[in-house]
Amino acid sequence: MLRVLGILVLVALYISFIIDVLRTPRQDARTLPKLLWLALVVLIPIIGGILWFFLGRPRPTNGGVFRRRGPVAPDDDPKFLKGLDEEAWRRRMRERRGEI
């Protein structure tokens, strides 16, 4: 049972390495071209994945392991904040003109 569990963990790790290589943008792969990394990970299952993790995977930009794709909350989004400022400005202008 323990051996089967170990094999399942290795297979899951192997698949996650392949998915990680495929999801990484081509220009972000380090050391080797992305297609070569994919071949390395597929042909040398666990060792290729470990090499990918340490040598080919893009470095995190926010100092952590996970990369943020965009703003987490509306108050972190510059477009949302700009829209709020513009709406407040429009409201003040309407009040000055006596439209409200």
Looking at every residue in the chain, the average pLDDT score rounds to 86
Q: Is residue 41 part of a domain?
A: yes
Looking at residue 35, its pLDDT comes to 93
For the chain, how many residues are written?
100
Total domains in the fold of the chain: 2
| Domain shared by 51 and 11, yes or no | yes
Percentage with pLDDT > 90 across the chain: 52
Q: What is the mean pLDDT of residues 9-37?
A: 92
**pLDDT top residue among 2 and 72:** 2
Q: Which domain holds residue 34?
A: 1-59
Residue 70 in this model has a pLDDT that exceeds 80: no
